[in-house]
Amino acid sequence: MQLFDIIGPIMVGPSSSHTAGAVKIGYVAGKLLDEPISEAIILLHGSFLATGKGHGTDRALIAGLLGMEPDDSRIPNSIEIAKDRGMDIQFGEISLKDAHPNSVLLKLTGKYGRSLDIIGESLGGSIINISSIDGLSANFSGDYPTLIVHNMDQPGHVAEVTSMLSHKSVNISSMQLYRESRGGNAVMVLECDQEIPTQAIEWLKKLEGVEKVTYYSLK
Amino acid sequence: MSFKMLSDIVNESNQKQIAFWEVVLNDDCKNEGLSKDESMKRMSDIYLAMKEADLNYDPNALSSSGMTGGDGALLEKHRMQPNRLIGDFLTKVMEKAVKMGESNACMKRIVAAPTAGSCGVIPAVLITYEEERKVSVNKIVEALYVAGGIGEVLAESAEISGAKGGCQAEIGSASGMAAGAIAYLEGGDNETIVHAVALALKNMLGLTCDPVGGLVEVPCVKRNVSGAVNAIISSQMAIAGIRSRIPPDEVIDSMRRIGNLIPECLKETSKEGLAITATALKTVVH
């Protein structure tokens, strides 16, 4: 653990996992959707469901979706702020298979029609993991610029993405590949050391066999 | 790379002839690619956030469970009484520890040190020290590096989360970190610092995590007081020359083993202990 994970972070209480981690999950999800959220369906699992209310997990998730970070003093009032901004919020319960006890499924719809389903897990000490995007496995922390490419399971897509990154001098910190079935839907998740230029992401979106490109920027 | 043992920090300090806190600072600079000034700016911002949180205490705030609020104000009022048994320094430490724990439960901004549940211990001790002993903020920032280095060792070689190691890992760790920081501020050498840590930790070994309703409130808020006061008495014993009969790194290793042996029902699952008392079950409504 790094020094400033021990003395820190500065955060709104009461719980690093159930409050600060929840803000971070919402924040990453909101950035991945990349447009103002018109509807958020929030389904809580396990300990998030059992003790979430007392820990402000509900308000923390919404605050993150609104783009607030874990030290934002407006977190306790996030639900009111979301309503003012026209975000429709529904809370519910879910029992996710093989999920971490602190998990949430976020079903988001944006103002301009984009939609995104994300499962986020809060691992403790405000460290998080995004474990699923649109029903496909993923594993990333939100600590690096992250590229998520949904594509058909065909030869060549990994080479296209990695040669583009090489061309843009972006170093890959970690890379994961998942697929539903042979020749079916696949996803690659790349955590990078540098930001990926916007035009490179737009270029990826136009490739044949690439179905969806989602990018999480630290900026 | 994080330090695995307190003796790693002490050895490096002795070899390079630099202070304990500077060893921790240099290591952070190397890990994060920061200059000394950048790291120290970050640490003083952290201290500023602790002071802001202390000042922003709201005596009327109540946590959403309704279990927490107003106790810091009671201690503040008590501090104004002329016939108190305990002196100003300790009374103030108690008050600040409760206030921070309450602010955390009431969704105010705090600094997790090392965790949100134990956020009252270190600021209560350090802010009071700055106010009562009139030392510079820089000196307190140095003490925060001492605390941070101790915390790194605890995270590496024991645990710092209640779910993994029980409350000894949270309030216990915070108390050990604060004890080392005070020992440094009081002019203790490296050996005094690490023995202050050992003495503080030994008083906290075996402490379970059985919060009512799974919330960071009961007994967590008031346990911050005991962690803070324990840090002070332990540092004073070390300053007086008392040494832990069990060497500090061995104390930390036993903390790890004890943490592993504490049953799951007493590690933040709220399935035993205070969490299942008749009153707890009656109080908490989800």
Extract the tokens encoding A115. Answer: 């939609």
Q: DSSP strand E in chain A: where?
A: 10-12, 37-45, 88-93, 102-110, 115-124, 127-133, 136-140, 146-152, 172-179, 185-192, 210-216
**Number of domains into which chain B is organized:** 1
Both A51 and A127 in a single domain? yes
- Choose, out of A7, A12, A57, A73, the residue to mutate when testing the contact with B (most B CBs < 10 Å): A7
Please give the full DSSP string across chain B, using - where no structure is assigned. ---S-HHHHHHHHHHHT--HHHHHHHHHHHHHT--HHHHHHHHHHHHHHHHHHHHT--TT---TTSS--SHHHHHHHHHT-TT-SS-HHHHHHHHHHHHHHHHHHTT-EEE-SS-STTTTHHHHHHHHHHHHHT--HHHHHHHHHHHHHHHHHHHHHS---HHHH-GGGTHHHHHHHHHHHHHHHTT--HHHHHHHHHHHHHTTTT--B--GGG-S-TTHHHHHHHHHHHHHHHHHHHHTT---SS-HHHHHHHHHHHHHHS-GGGBSS-SSGGGGSHHHHHH---
Task: Determine the 3-state secondary structure of A26 from DSSP.
Answer: helix
Q: What is the pLDDT of residues A173-207, one digit of tens each?
A: 999 999 989 999 999 999 999 999 999 999 999 99
Asked if the structure places residue B207 within a domain, the reply is yes
Q: How many interface pairs between A and B have CB atoms less than 8 angstroms apart? A: 132
Cross-chain CB nearest to A51 (options B114, B156, B215): B215
Question: Given this model, what pLDDT does residue B241 score?
Answer: 98
Extract the tokens encoding B86. Answer: 């305990």
pTM of the model: 0.91
Q: What mean pLDDT is reported for chain B?
A: 96
Subunit contact A13:B43, Cβ cutoff 8 A: no
Question: Given this model, what pLDDT does residue B1 score?
Answer: 61
Question: Given this model, what pLDDT does residue B49 score?
Answer: 98
Cross-chain CB nearest to A53 (options B112, B270, B286): B286
Cross-chain CB nearest to A11 (options B2, B43, B112): B112
From CA A15, how far away is CA A55, in angstroms rounded?
6
Question: Given this model, what pLDDT does residue A136 score?
Answer: 86
Domain of B98?
6-283
Subunit contact B214:A54, Cβ cutoff 8 A: yes
Greatest Cα pair distance, chain A, in angstroms, is 49
Both A115 and A13 in a single domain? yes
From CA B211, how far away is CA B202, in angstroms rounded?
22
Both A76 and A126 in a single domain? yes
pLDDT at A210 exceeding the cut of 80: yes
- Residues in chain B predicted with pLDDT less than 70, given as ranges, are 1, 285-286
Chain B residues with CB-CB distance to A56 below 8 A: 64, 107
Both A113 and A155 in a single domain? no
pLDDT at A137 exceeding the cut of 90: no
Both A116 and A48 in a single domain? yes
Distance from CA of B113 to the nearest CA of A (A): 5
Both A174 and A206 in a single domain? yes
Q: Residue B145 CA to chain centroid, in angstroms?
A: 13
Both A128 and A151 in a single domain? no
Kindly identify which residue of chain B lies nearest to residue A56, measuring between CA atoms.
Answer: B107
Tokens 């939100």 belong to which residue? A142
Asked if the structure places residue A94 within a domain, the reply is yes
Question: Given this model, what pLDDT does residue B258 score?
Answer: 98
Question: Given this model, what pLDDT does residue A124 score?
Answer: 82
Domain ends where: A110, A133, A156?
A133
Asked if the structure places residue A140 within a domain, the reply is no
Chain B residues with CB-CB distance to A4 below 8 A: 28, 32, 42, 46, 148
Domain of A186?
146-216
Chain A residues with CB-CB distance to B103 below 8 A: 13
Both A96 and A171 in a single domain? no
Cβ atoms of residues B171 and B181 within 8 Å: no
Asked if the structure places residue A117 within a domain, the reply is yes
Provide the CATH number for the domain around residue B223. Answer: 1.10.4100
**Number of domains into which chain A is organized:** 2
Q: What is the pLDDT of residues A77-136, one digit of tens each?
A: 999 999 999 999 999 999 999 899 899 999 999 999 999 999 999 998 888 999 999 988
Question: Given this model, what pLDDT does residue B285 score?
Answer: 57
Q: Residue B115 CA to chain centroid, in angstroms?
A: 9
Both A106 and A186 in a single domain? no
Q: What is the ipTM of this complex?
A: 0.96
Provide the CATH number for the domain around residue A167. Answer: 3.30.70.260
From CA A194, how far away is CA A18, in angstroms rounded?
30
Provide the CATH number for the domain around residue A36. Answer: 3.30.1330.90
Kindly identify which residue of chain B lies nearest to residue A60, measuring between CA atoms.
Answer: B107
Q: What mean pLDDT is reported for chain A?
A: 95
Asked if the structure places residue B1 within a domain, the reply is no
Both A57 and A103 in a single domain? yes
Domain ends where: A133, A154, A188?
A133
Cross-chain CB nearest to A55 (options B42, B151, B215): B215
Domain ends where: A133, A166, A194?
A133
Asked if the structure places residue B211 within a domain, the reply is yes
Tell me, what amino acid is at B61?
A
Distance from CA of B85 to the nearest CA of A (A): 32
**Count of beta carbons in the 10 Å neighbourhood of residue B176:** 37
Task: Determine the 3-state secondary structure of A193 from DSSP.
Answer: coil
Both A193 and A109 in a single domain? no
Extract the tokens encoding B74. Answer: 């009671």
Phi and psi at B273, nearest 5°, equal 65, -140
Question: Given this model, what pLDDT does residue A67 score?
Answer: 97
Cross-chain CB nearest to B152 (options A6, A51, A125): A6
Both A125 and A169 in a single domain? no
